[in-house]
Structure formats: structure tokens, C-alpha cells
Structure 1
């Protein structure tokens, strides 16, 4: 028994020695050098509180109850202050980087430094697609971080995060890089960000804070966690600093962000598809649709093609293609290696520009787009219609997230009529629909009439 316990003790002692040797020894020095340029961000905004008597008028009308003194009167909507906390870092002459979701719709932003100085920050620009925001503060002797290179970061490398989880300011956690090039989707974020996955402990409040390598250089921006509890569960995701700096430079110089665009939809190649396409193994980005008149179409790309290399970058998965294309500027010449009918061919492209508005980034351009409602539409034709479809109207190809039509009109709907203030407008084609919608003003109520799955539908939307 003594022998067993002694061996267990020696094993634990030996394991602890190995683990201790593996842990980096310069983290305290890294923190001392880098922490001064890390900031705590507090953003405030006014939000409307729901009226507890909402719907009371509808209740009275439905049951025919006359309003009297005995009934409570609906109150004016009240507001309250909503406060969000996050992190960030100074990277250049008072310019800061943080996550867009930390300061989204903020009316007041306060930046606190490690030396207890506080500043009011202005928003230079935002990029919701990459979840990034650039802020500016005015102060003397402002510290700044050292910028690293996320391309050279390897899986297994040690990384350190500094931030303010749950408002515990300037907390430090460490871990390793678990994976690179992750594509995750969360509120329209992810198509154009090849996230770094780490096991660094990240929690609410760490958002926007820097991820350092062991040389004290920023290699990522902590952005999201995968969690069923709302707290850290071993999976954290950071925006590569190379991507973040490209976005920041465009925001500072131009006030907006431009991305390359092919005008294609992509999917993954599985084993069965690889065999059907005469490929040795499943890899690459499968082209499932090509939009007419866009870069992919002009280059001769076809549905069924598989892109395995783009501008010298290997494309292993379908999600890799947007990551690569989005980092190339519009109007740039590019080339791709494509598998078509079991043979490798080369195609040359001149990239278009990813269409985007202030808040919603759309994966494909519309031939005619009704921006006030957030719809992508096209004319009904022999190619896109069924025998039971109406002869006139417009086909809905996409509804933008968060738009007035979102949740009311669906992809595949056919719009045949618009009603406003009792007046009916027949819809013959997309041009007529676009011209009609442009005549209305913000706040106007419209009834949209059409056909969905061979049934007629009526929905109300408000022009934005």
C-alpha cells in the first residue's frame, strides 16, 4: 500500500514538473508591458421599455368594450439606460479597436485605461460584418500595443488575453490556439472572418480585447464564445489581427470597408460529390450558383465547378473561399484553379465589390433591389416559374435580416399587388415594383399581396 501511494506521489510530482516546464514563464512580463494599452469600454444607450398595457386597445375593440374610467389608460413609452461593457486596445495615435457589438447604437462611450484615466470616445467607423469598430480618444502620452502577424500563428501556440470579464477590469487568462480558419455564423457575422479558436478563458466583458502571442504582440481580437450557459465553456474565438488591421485601415482612410465579390454561392464537397465529380478526395469550394453579370459569371465560372485554389491560397473547404475573396480589394485581378469534369483548369477574374448597406451585408446583388423593404427580387420568367404561378408579379429571391419585410415575406413568394390607403397597385415586373416602392415615405404602411405555396397571402409592412 505504501509502495502504491509513493508511486502515485512521484507520478503527480513528475507530471507537475512537466506541466510547469511547458507553461511559458514570461507572461507576467508580457502583461506588465502590454496591459497599459488595453482599455475597458463602457457604452450607454437609452432603450424603450415595453408598455405593460400594450395591446389593450385591440382587446377592447375585439370584445366591443367601450373605454371608461374604470379601465387603465395606456401610458407613454418609458425609457431606461442600457449599459454594455467590453474591452479594447490602443493601436495607433489614440485609435482603438473593439467589437462592433460592444458599442452598437451607443449614445455615450467611456474608455478607461489601466492608469485610471478616463476618456470620452468617438466612433470613427464600424464594420458589422467583421464585428469591428474603430474608436478615437484624445489624450497625451497614450500607450499602444505592438501588432503581430496572425498568419504565422500556429495551432498549439500559447496565447494570452487581457480584458474585463464581468467588469473585473484588466484580468489576464492564457491558453493555446486550438484551431485556425474557423467559420462561425452569429448574427450575420462570420462569412468573411477566418476566426482563431482558442481555449483561453473568455467571458462577457472580454469582447474586443486583445489576444497576445508570447512576444507581447496582438495576434487577435477576442470576439465570441461558444457556450450553452452564457459563460466560458472551453471554446473562444478571436478575429485575426491581419483581418482587423485591414478593416481598421479602410475605416480610418475611407470611412467604410470594401470587399471583393465573386457573385457565387458555395457549398461543401463530400465523399459522394467528390466521386461524382471525379475528384480524388473531398476538398475545395463547390459552386452551386453563379449570378449573372458578376465577376464569377464574367470569368466563366459554372455551377458544379470546384475552386481548389484562389490567388495562390489553398481552398480546402467551401467556407474558405469567402475568407480569401473578401480580403481582396474590388477591381483586383485574380486567378483560380478549378476542377471541372474531373480536369483542372485556370480562370481569371476581375473582382466585383460585395454590396452592403449600413447594417446588413448581402451575399448577392439584386438585379433590382427594393431597399426600403429589404427585398431582392426578379421578374417572373419561364426559368423560375411553375405552372401554378401567376403570369405577372415579382419573385422574391431574398429578404434581408432586420429589414421591414423580414419575418413577413419569404424567399419564393410572388408579389402581385401593393395596397396603400385603400388604393391598389398591380405589380407586373420588378421595375414597376421598384418605382412604386420608391414613391412611399418612411413610416408609410403597405399591404403586400401575393402568392405563397399556391395560396394567397396578405402582410403589412412599414417602409423604412
Structure 2
């Protein structure tokens, strides 16, 4: 009996000991289940990883602040199909066999084709105002805005500014989450930024990529008339146009507008319109429906070191005056051909683009001071700026060429060198030397190297005739060009912006 009780007591003791042992092991098993790979690192390595995780948390926090304010914009419209026939439209043999079709090259051009587009936009006011790129909405008449939560709203066009490639839409809302616009003058090369937009497809809306500011003040990129871009290596792709470039404070420093790419995708070179320009242009569009700019009335070029030395200037800064147009503010103020404009309102000028850009930002009617170098001496003048008008001869860089912003092309006379390069039989007409990538001329297939023989059925042999015919063309109607490309000629109708 005593032996049985002893066995029972020992068994009970063993059970208690076993339970106690398991209880003692429980915390270590739980800890093992919660262990992460990072726990296998040394303390110094863990600290390094934690600092990166904190950095990553910052990106995530900024993205969560901005994505509700970045929208996807889809557009619908119709465009007139261009006649891209490779045949010589004035060939007598073709006219004999095909009759009126080749006597009337506009026949068949009335056909329209659908125009559908995709881009991004940024809410800048809680009462429904959204900024985007002009090229996102150009040519369309219906606009749909999709928010990050999937809600769709129809939008109306408030105004556009093709020269800066900005536009403003409005949706019927009063409680949207708007972004904060930063002072883009404070943007520093090397600082981190996020790009937010809808690349390639509406299914990829509010995509966020990261990079740094690669450069500021980029001009002469050849995209628009007024350029002062922030360059970034944050990935920007087609569809990102109109999206936000954001600093690590959650402020928008720019509106993404273009990429430099050979294949159409991101190569780490993207351009963003700085937020200060966005604020200025969008405010004018919302308030007035248009953008007015100051106008000086000079043809200007950059100053190279040899020219600076020859003109007695201290350095190769400022804008060299090639020509002053009669009756303009510059003419009335006494600015002369050969002057170098080195200061505007007490601020030094870097180059001709700097002058053009800063004059455009000043309201018409403003009196400004201008410092010029003439015959090696500085001279102070005062100019009352006029309003810039869509004048094809205004403020171009070369008096021997003519740029038309509303058509998106630049032409110049055919020199013997150009005639040899293009293998032309004669020097009739004007040669197209550049075509704005997103302009009306490019949309209709005009290219650099094309020769303009006629405009609105009038022969063109000089810049004077070119400007005269365009200035007398009916407003808001297509301009009919007769173009020679190689040995073929074709008519192309281009509707100005």
C-alpha cells in the first residue's frame, strides 16, 4: 500500500515537473516564432537597417499625403485626318487618269478620326480646380477625371497656355484634398523627390517613383517657348504628364511634363515645370481665362566669349540684340541693334532665354529698368512693356528665320548649302528647320527638312511673303500648305492653336 502511494506521488511529481518545464520553454518557443531575419544581424547592422526603414517610412508617409490629390485624366475628341499621300498632287499624268481627286487635294480630308488621350493632373484647389499639361487635353472636347479611390467626374476646361504647356480643368466639387505648392526657387540639386502619376494606363493610376533633383533651370530643351524645367531621374513615363513632383515635405515642386528618351520610355531624364510657374499661370487662367505676358520687341541671341570681348563686356552673360523692331517698347526706350542687355530691373541675366522668360512674367504696362552694354560702356534705360501677342516675328532668336507658335514650326529661306543638303532642284519656297514635338504641325506629319511651296494656294518665296500670308489668314481656320518632301509634293491642312 505504501509502495503504491509512493508510485502515485512520484508520478504526480513528474507531471508537475514536466508541466513546469514546458511552461519554462513556452516563452522561448514564442520568441522563436516572432524572430525576424534582421535579428540575426549584428547590433550595428541592425541599426543601419533601422535607419533605412525610417527613411522608407518617410517616403510612404509623403506618398499617402499626395496620392489623394493626383488624378487620372482621360480625354475624348475628334481630329481631321491628314492627307499623307506620297504622290505628287500636281502631276499632269495623274490628273489625267484620276481627274478631280488630284485637282482638288483637299477632297477626302474631311474624314475625322477619334482622339483619345491619357494623362495625369493635380488638384490645386479644394473647390475643384485641377492643373495638367496643355498637351494632355489639346484637341479634346470631353474630359473625365478619376480620383485615387476610383470616383469619376466630368471636367470642364477653364483655360490653356500652350507656351508653357499648362492647362486648368474644373470638376463640380467643394471638398477635394488639394496639394501645397512649394517655393520652387528653394529646390536644391540632389534633394529627394517623388513623381506621382498614371503611366501608360489608367490601371496604373497614382504610381509613385522616387529619385533626386538632377538639375534646375533647364532651358533650351526645345519643348515649349518658355522653359525653366526641374530635371529629375525619378521615373517618368507616358501618362505621367500633368502629374506631381513632390519633395519630402509633401509639397509639390513641379508638374511633370516630358522625358528625354530615344525609345519612348524613361531613361532617367525627366522634366518638370516648376511650381512657381505653375502657381502663376494657373492663377491667371482661373482668374482671367488667359495669360498675358510682357513684350519687349527685340530679336536676341546668346553672348559667346568672342562676342563679349569684341563688345567690351566683362563676361559672356546677357542677351545680344540682333535687331530692334520698329514701334516696340524697346525701340521707344532707345535700345539699339548690337546692344547687350545684361540686367533687367537690377537682376543680372544669364542668357537670352533668361531675358525672354523674365520679360514674359512681368505684367504688360509695367515700367522696368534695363542695363545695356553699348560700345564697351554700361547704359541704363527704362522700358514700359507692352503685351505679347501671337506675332510670328516677335522676339525670335534669328532675324533670318521665323517661328510660328500657333502652328508649332520654324522656317527659313533656302540657302545654297540647304539646297545641296536636301538635293533640291531649285531654291523655291522655305525650309522647315524645326517642328514642335507636340504642336499642330507635328500632329499633321510635317517634318524638319520639308519645303513649303505654297500657303493657302499662294506661292511662298520669302519670309516676308510667309508672314504676310499667315497674318491675313482667316482666324480659327486650317492653313493649307503645299509641301515638298523629296521628289513628292502633298497638301497638308494644319489648324493653328
Identify the residue that residue 205 of structure 2 maps to in structure 1.
169
TM-score (norm 2): 0.68
Give 1:200's aligned residue: 234
User: What displacement does 1:459 show?
Assistant: 11
Q: Report the counterpart of residue 148 of structure 1 in structure 2.
A: 182
**Shift, 1:123, TM fit:** 0.4
Match of 1:126, SS state, is strand
1:29 to 47, 50, 61: 61
1:286 matched to 2:315? The reply is no
Match among 38, 41, 45 for residue 73 of structure 2: 41
Shift of 1:78: 5.5
Secondary structure of 2:352's match? coil
Instruction: Check conservation: 2:66, 2:179, Cα contact below 8 A.
Output: yes
In the TM superposition, what is the alpha-carbon distance from 1:283 to its structure 2 partner? 1.6
Whether the 8 Å contact between 2:216 and 2:230 is mirrored in structure 1 is yes
More strand by share: 1
Residue 181, structure 1, aligned to residue 217, structure 2: yes
Q: Which moved more, 1:98-107 or 1:294-303?
A: 294-303
Match of 2:38 in 1: none
Which SS does the other structure have where 1:26 is aligned? helix
Higher relative contact order (CA 8 A, sep 6+): 2
1:280 is paired with a residue of what secondary structure?
coil
In structure 1, the partner of 2:416 is: none
Which SS does the other structure have where 1:165 is aligned?
coil
Counterpart for residue 259 of structure 1: 293
Q: Are the equivalent residues in 1 in contact too, given 2:221–2:227 (CA < 8 A)?
A: no
After superposing the two structures, state which structure 1 stretch, 163-172 or 283-292, moved more.
283-292
Which structure: larger Rg?
2
Unpaired runs of 5+ residues, structure 1, are 1-9, 68-73, 377-394, 420-428, 448-457
The C-alpha deviation readout for 1:392-436, integer Å capped at 9, x for no partner, is xxx99x9997589996658xx9x9x969xxxxxxxxx99xx7899
- Alignment-derived partner of residue 111 in structure 1: 145
CA distance in 1, matches of 2:470, 2:245: 49
State the secondary structure of the residue aligned to 2:124.
strand
Distance 1:48 1:174, change over 3 A: same
Give me the whole-angstrom Cα distance separating, in 1, the residues matched to 2:222 and 2:376.
36
Gaps of 5+ in 2: 1-41, 100-106, 411-428, 483-488
Determine helix, strand or coil for the equivalent of 1:146: coil
The answer for the alignment partner of 2:124 in structure 1 is 91
Query: How far did 1:461 drift?
Result: 9.3
Deviations 1:258-299 (A, max 9, x none): 111111122122221122122333222222221111121222
- The match for 1:334 among 365, 368, 371 is 368
Residues 361 and 97 (structure 1), Cα distance of their counterparts in 2 relative to 1, 3 Å cut? farther
Q: How many residues align?
A: 403
TM-score in terms of structure 1 length? 0.72
Structure 2: how far apart are the matches of 1:163 and 1:441? 33
Structure-1 separation of matches of 2:66 and 2:393: 34
Matched residues in 2 for 1:94 and 1:30: separation?
A: 22
Range with bigger deviation, 274-283 or 172-181: 274-283
Measured in 1, the distance between the counterparts of 2:406 and 2:182 equals: 42
Matched with 1:315 is 349
* Paired residue secondary structure (2:200): helix
CA contact (8 A) 2:84 2:490 kept: no
Deviation, 1:305, is: 1.8
**Paired residue for 1:247?**
281
SS at match of 1:105: coil
Deviations 1:159-212 (A, max 9, x none): 21111111211111122212211113445x1x3231111111111011001111
Q: How big is the shift at 1:101?
A: 0.3
Hey, what does 2:413 align to over in structure 1?
none
The alpha carbon displacement at 1:51 in A equals 7.9
SS at structure 2 position matched to 1:166: coil
More helix by share: 2
- Displacement of 1:336 in angstroms is 2.1
Q: After the TM superposition, which residues 338-349 of structure 1 pair with which residues of structure 2 at under 5 Å, given as runs?
A: 338-349=372-383
